[in-house]
Chains A and B, each alone.
Chain A
């Protein structure tokens, strides 16, 4: 998570020339290789594949042959391998270090999962081959569904959403379909101020009006605030609420049951953003709290790799009130085995699917990885993992609470802990500066400037994958930076950081003002 509000988006002029930026002749610096763009090193006459020759046949292209150059430079295999290995070396990753990016759950990605997802019976099967020939795949989907439903205490599941935001869309569409089925014109969705940006964006995309709910002084949403919002808008207008629990401040919504009751009493539905399910898996079932729909991020909670931004996977669980509206495709059991229902009138049950979210059946490759993770942990391991995640976040809190301010006071947090930058007031050093100095210290920074409910947010999510030694080094480093900032004198070093990276601070303002989104050769 990252937000541009309230932070500097272009590097500041250096007023100090002691920073070493001398270049080498080659552009490389020891192990750090400077790698040109593919378009500067590749050639249109180069290739890294040997294809069999093809026989001369009649042309059936209907006169639409491509003429001329496409513009796709190639590389031989050794050159390509080196190009991408060098690029990879310019990335930070969980495998190389601590990555406490709040709200993103950067946990270890077990390699067994990768191996399993590459079994030919999973990776080399087609979504439209006869269902009789893919019963193992359908069984895998069924087993994953069983786990996710049991862990949440919910009634039905839609596996197909491709990512968290797609899952939100799915859950909110189910709510909209249920309202339509009841001929209801309810159109207000309540969203707390601390919500992920995807929540209001999703509600708005479906034509709902977003009504914001303020958080209480303790950082949580109070039932009376929800009740007030319901009364202000009129109970008959309330379509539902979108609430993240644990919330984006790392706090459990203590009044969640009362909030659910208030929304249900008004006639609305309760959508829970499950991005932070890692804190409660195996311990708390959202279905017991009154949730009607919740998405998972398999790429957060269930360890499927983030891959530099995706692919994700966002299955949605639904309560009994919404289960009939799950989109196609969905699984049905019969004596002959499992069937995927692919069409809206494709079965004889009472299902009223709201439609289809994607071609085919969703992120099978991620289902395999998630089930591999789940089976490896078992219920005991999942509960231990969420326990350790909460332990680690509270350990960070205990170690840093004397140095950094917690905007909602010192209280037990869930799997992540939120600080703001008020302790840095008067130092000239900001949250952004602290983050960039952490980069120089060999860490990926925490999430900064999110959530928006405090100034200069620092949201730290250590996850259960970190050892005590790893967390100790991080908190000690962060503490030393805070102390250094408070001592003054090195303000400029903060503004200039990072210096030990392949690139220093980048000019985001220039990038947005005159976007260069593709390579153009200088001869053009």
Chain B
């Protein structure tokens, strides 16, 4: 077996040192049950055979790069520079553990410190942590944090929050005996009257996504003021961080906690994971924050260095009194994010955002010329929603047979709502070409006339 260094003779020599006859004897002495598990699993395979098997499975999937692709809704296809994937595969990054011994982990710790600064600046917040699993779990953690800070037990979610994110919050809340209220779904509009009306003296936090799941952008200031006037926190959620190269940061608009899905920068689609949750908030809430945090300090020679800090919030110290049970973060995904962000820099980030917006505007113009397609957004960044004259899901299924991935039918997210049946959510990033836009328009026209 190619991954195991021992030969039979070294095994025997080591068993002799221990003073037992066989490895099985060791298990017996350790008290494991002796019956062999009945199982029909196959034996080991060569590297070549494994590669053939997995390549065959990979080949059954339609990769985004294989043709026109307009799917978003919380995960976005962007071009990632080749150096990002090369650098994150450096052995010292890839095969190290959580930096528990800081003297030999300064590489990881320094990039986490840089990452925290990049994230705080991008989201417009005072501080950020060293990442959570993804945007949706970050959203759940933010709600629990708001409960701790306000000592209230009711979260208010915007109806236009990604339904998967809402489900994560509802699951956590149900399991931890908190309440959740939600405003109406209003596709295509950044309407907040219903949301603001629902804020009351028991509300711990208001959770608003911008751009929302339909692509609409929000001015968060009035919501922040309304929430804070009632003693509640505003939690802003961003699922497409590239938007922050073009639009105002949630923290700058008054959000107390900002959660984002960081996948768009540096990380592939990966069928949903691994991703990384960006988590930022006001400095005064630092000791209520979940997850790992890296901080600056000095070493015995007075040199600047970095350590994991504020661990007295965490499970390995506090056990049942910890702020959260989180142990693992998304280390390597943070590194990919941070390297890509460093390569982009201020100029690249702004240009990337402008490019995305212009592609989406170009696509919306092209689509609006088709009979039976109505753009319903009043504002958007790189994703918007159209109302078709027929079922969006059937249309998507028709187009996938023509090798076009046209977007996400809203019914995929709300299967029980007939009112969204004809809505299609369409994203256009910098990876979309003019040819792809033309192909989509031509085939969509045909599908609608069929």
CB distance from B336 to the nearest CB of A (A): 10
Inter-chain pairs besides A162-B328, A312-B328, A464-B3, 10 sampled, C-beta below 8 Å: A54-B359, A66-B248, A91-B108, A122-B270, A162-B133, A162-B274, A376-B44, A384-B4, A394-B20, A512-B310
> Complex formed: what's the CA distance from A364 to B190 in Å?
33
**A355 in contact (CB, < 8 A):** yes
Interface mask (B35-52 → A, CB under 8 Å = 1, otherwise 0): 111011111110101110
* CB–CB B75/A360 < 8 A: yes
> Complex formed: what's the CA distance from A153 to B35 in Å?
13
* CB–CB A130/B396 < 8 A: yes
* CB–CB B400/A130 < 8 A: yes
CB distance from A395 to the nearest CB of B (A): 5
Segment at the B interface, from A33-41, A261-269, A418-426 = A33-41
**A365 in contact (CB, < 8 A):** yes
9 residue pairs of the A-B complex, CB under 8 angstroms, read A44-B345, A57-B361, A59-B361, A121-B63, A124-B65, A310-B329, A359-B134, A388-B23, A399-B17
Given A14-B300, A119-B55, A119-B58, residue A201 in contact with residue B322 (CB < 8 A): yes
Residues of B within 8 A of A132 (CB): 397, 400
**B10 in contact (CB, < 8 A):** yes
**B321 in contact (CB, < 8 A):** yes
* CB–CB B57/A136 < 8 A: yes
Within 99-155 of B, Cβ neighbours of A (below 8 Å) are at: 99-108, 110-111, 113-114, 116-118, 120-122, 127-128, 130-131, 133-137, 144
CB distance from B233 to the nearest CB of A (A): 19
**B94 in contact (CB, < 8 A):** yes
Segment at the A interface, from B168-176, B196-204, B436-444 = B168-176
* CB–CB B97/A99 < 8 A: yes
Binding site secondary structure of chain A: loop
**B157 in contact (CB, < 8 A):** no
> Complex formed: what's the CA distance from A377 to B271 in Å?
25
* CB–CB A504/B57 < 8 A: no
**B191 in contact (CB, < 8 A):** no
CB distance from B305 to the nearest CB of A (A): 4
Q: Which among B47, B131, B261 has the highest number of chain A CB atoms within 10 Å?
A: B47
* CB–CB A439/B101 < 8 A: yes
**B390 in contact (CB, < 8 A):** no
CB distance from A404 to the nearest CB of B (A): 16
Residues of B within 8 A of A385 (CB): 1, 3-4
Question: Which 10 pairs show the lowest CB-CB distances between chains A and B?
Answer: A74-B345, A360-B272, A136-B60, A355-B171, A62-B379, A121-B58, A307-B332, A378-B44, A95-B91, A127-B272
* CB–CB B299/A202 < 8 A: no
Residues of B within 8 A of A342 (CB): 412
Partner of A201, one of B17, B272, B325: B325
* CB–CB B345/A307 < 8 A: no
Q: How large is the interface on B (under 10, 10 to 19, 20 to 34, 35 or more residues)?
A: 35 or more
* CB–CB A510/B297 < 8 A: yes
Within 492-509 of A, Cβ neighbours of B (below 8 Å) are at: 496, 498, 501-508
* CB–CB A11/B348 < 8 A: no
CB distance from A486 to the nearest CB of B (A): 23
Residues of A within 8 A of B435 (CB): none
* CB–CB A151/B41 < 8 A: yes
* CB–CB B274/A503 < 8 A: no
Residues of A within 8 A of B97 (CB): 99, 101, 104, 106, 306, 308-309, 444
**B446 in contact (CB, < 8 A):** no
**B377 in contact (CB, < 8 A):** yes
**A487 in contact (CB, < 8 A):** no
What residue in chain A is nearest B105 (Cβ atoms)?
A91
* CB–CB B104/A444 < 8 A: yes
Q: How large is the interface on A (under 10, 10 to 19, 20 to 34, 35 or more residues)?
A: 35 or more
**B381 in contact (CB, < 8 A):** yes
**A17 in contact (CB, < 8 A):** no
* CB–CB A252/B58 < 8 A: no
Residues of A within 8 A of B362 (CB): 55, 57
> Complex formed: what's the CA distance from A285 to B269 in Å?
34
Segment at the B interface, from A203-211, A222-230, A231-239, A315-323 = A203-211
Interface mask (B1-32 → A, CB under 8 Å = 1, otherwise 0): 11111100011011101111001001101111
* CB–CB A310/B268 < 8 A: no
* CB–CB B328/A163 < 8 A: yes
* CB–CB A309/B328 < 8 A: yes
Q: Which among B31, B61, B116, B348 has the highest number of chain A CB atoms within 10 Å?
A: B61
Given A48-B348, A376-B2, A507-B299, residue A444 in contact with residue B107 (CB < 8 A): no
* CB–CB A504/B301 < 8 A: yes
**B81 in contact (CB, < 8 A):** yes
**B92 in contact (CB, < 8 A):** yes
**A361 in contact (CB, < 8 A):** yes
* CB–CB A137/B309 < 8 A: no
Residues of B within 8 A of A99 (CB): 97
* CB–CB B65/A112 < 8 A: no
Partner of A284, one of B5, B33, B134, B327: B33
* CB–CB A360/B325 < 8 A: no
Partner of A48, one of B43, B131, B270, B342: B342
Within 262-277 of B, Cβ neighbours of A (below 8 Å) are at: 268-274, 276
Partner of B246, one of A66, A202, A498: A66
Interface mask (A76-94 → B, CB under 8 Å = 1, otherwise 0): 0100110111011111111
What residue in chain A is nearest B384 (Cβ atoms)?
A60
Residues of B within 8 A of A435 (CB): 101
